[in-house]
Amino acid sequence: MVTSERPAGSDRAGLTDALVQASFMTMAVLSRIGAEHDLSLTSLRVLAILRDRRLKMTDLADYLGLDQSTMTGLVDRAEKRGLLERLRNPTDGRAVDVRISPAGAELAQRLHADVVRSLAPMIDLLPRPEQRRLRTLLERMLTPS
């Protein structure tokens, strides 16, 4: 779970705990950066996802694992702040597309740079070659090739 003690039964438990702990640390950084711009973790994610994509409300909700009604509120608030735009879907009259605005794209870029910069102190606790190894291992775990 969160604590770092390892029940001496399974090998997997140790890696699980390390992964969970690293995740909470990462999320804390993302949360702080979001909060500095009045953005929740979810809004941060929406912005990141829409950086290079235009999606229907439904697809966005599926992507985030949220209900459609939740998406409505999220997009409402982001649109009101000028970060996103709602558009008519050209092929389905019921659907609504969401696209990032120029201001939103600019913010998203700044946020990403901020995340990289904020995680650097943690990452740099590893020497460069180990950083590369860690990245490779994580990517192999994320991409069931």
Q: Which among DNA, a second copy, none contacts residue 89 (Cβ within 5 to 8 A by kind)? A: DNA
- Residue closer to DNA, measured from CB, 6 or 99: 99
Residues 107, 83: Cα–Cα separation, whole Å: 8
Residues 73, 34: Cα–Cα separation, whole Å: 17
- Residue closer to a second copy, measured from CB, 53 or 88: 53
3 DSSP assignment:
S
- Amino acid, single-letter form, for residue 120: A
* Smallest separation, CB 98 to a second copy (Å): 15
37 DSSP assignment:
T
Residues 66, 70: Cα–Cα separation, whole Å: 6
The answer to whether residue 23 forms part of the interface with DNA (CB under 7 A) is no
Stated length of the chain: 145
The answer to whether residue 109 forms part of the interface with DNA (CB under 7 A) is no
* Smallest separation, CB 48 to DNA (Å): 14
Q: Which among DNA, a second copy, none contacts residue 42 (Cβ within 5 to 8 A by kind)? A: DNA
- Residue closer to a second copy, measured from CB, 87 or 126: 126
The answer to whether residue 29 forms part of the interface with DNA (CB under 7 A) is no
Interface residues with DNA (CB under 7 A) are: 39-40, 42-43, 56-58, 65-77, 86, 89, 92-97
